[in-house]
Every structure is written in C-alpha cells, then in structure tokens.
Homo-oligomer: A and B are copies of this chain.
Amino acid sequence: MTQRVRIQNFAVSRDGIGAGREQSLERPFGHVDPMDLHGWALATAHWPGRTDPGGTRGLEDYLTRDFSRNIGAEIMGRHKFGPQRGPWTDQEWTGWWGAEPPFHTPVFVLTHHPRPSFSLGETTFHFLDASCQEALAQAREAADGKDVRIGGGVTTLRAFLEADLVDEMHVAIAPLELGEGLRLWERPEELTDRFHLEQVAAPSGITHCFFWRR
C-alpha cells in the first residue's frame, strides 16, 4: 500500500475562511465560532472527543471515524498547537487537548522556535523548524508505512498544497460567510487542475469537498 499524504475534516466558510483573526487562549479560532465550522463533526457518533454514546451515524459519521484510519503521523502548524507567538517563555503549554490528545501518533509541529519533544497519552509532539519537504520526510519515516495527515491550520495547508505534497483532501464548507480571517481558497475549483473534485451536499447544510490527485 502506497503511503499517502491526507488532509481530513478541515472546515472553512463559504468564502474559504478556516480560522479567524486574533487567536487567543480563550478563542482558538479567533473571532470565528468553531461550532459554525465544526458543529457537523461534533454531532457525529465517532467524533474523537465524544464521551457519551449518542451522535449521528449518517454520512458525516463516516468522515469522523475515518480520522485515525491508517494514519501514522500528523504535521501541524504552531497555531494549531497553541496561541503563543515568538520564542517560548515557558514550556508548560502542551496543546489544547488535555491529557489524552486525539492523535495517538507522532505529531510534528512546524515552528521557528523549536522546543524539546514530549509525550502526552499516546501522542508524542516534536517541534521542527523545517520546510514542508523536510517535515514530511521525517513524518513519513515516523509513520512507519502508514499515511501522514496534514492537520492544519490554514497556513500549513496552503504551504503543503503550494508545494504539491498532498495526495487527498476532504474539506467541509459551512453555509456562512465570514468575510475576514485566514483563507484557504477563493473557491475549491482552484485546485481542479491537479485534483479530481467531488462535491456532496449533506443534510446538515455542509458541502463536503473530496479531492484526490489526477
């Protein structure tokens, strides 16, 4: 089985915004309400953070339960890891996810300010000041034959797409316009020179875009 580079369950507004301005500890998505973008995923039975036995089991449950399938490593940007900017003033911050992050694999955090690796639950975080290509080489090796997830945020996704390192991608388009913030694209069709694109409207109001290489 070929090792693939995948983007999964990333969510943007109709105008392509994936995160708001002014990220803070209290507001990981800045001025954007994360429920507007991610509410569809939190409603499913297999949302990784779910603790009760409820949840929907339609199309969108296939998408959330695919999150871990054959993933051996994740690469994320520093802003997905935390709200800090510049050099670390301390190393108390261990991410947004509490004692058991949902990754359960090595995670490579791209940052100009590396710090020592650490493990939390089944996840180990490494910090790299590296190009997309260099980070991917390390993640591929750590993934041990499994796929590598590019986890976001917007800036990291754009960098990997511009470097043409992505094999498949699922993006959920939420039915609202945000006007400003970090923008993944003007419209999904921008990528159809390199990718097949399938768009599916879910009863939740979300349009799911599935891309895979031509």
Contact = CB atoms under 8 A, between A and B. Distances in A.
A24 interface: no
B58 A200 contact: yes
A57 interface: yes
Interface in A20-69: 45, 53, 56-59, 61-63, 65-66, 69
- Copy total for this chain: 2
A208 interface: yes
Contacts of A2: 53
Contact of A198 (B56, B65, B199): B56
Interface string A112-140: 00000000000000000000000000000
Interface SS, A side: mixed
Interface residues of A, number: 24
Contacts of A196: 56-58
Contact of A200 (B45, B56, B203, B212): B203
A69 B59 contact: no
B65 A212 contact: no
Nearest to A66: B62
Closest 3 CB pairs of A and B: A58-B198, A57-B212, A58-B210
22 contacts: A2-B53, A56-B196, A56-B212, A57-B168, A57-B210, A58-B196, A58-B200, A58-B212, A59-B59, A59-B198, A59-B200, A59-B208, A59-B210, A62-B62, A62-B63, A62-B66, A65-B66, A199-B203, A200-B201, A200-B202, A200-B203, A201-B201
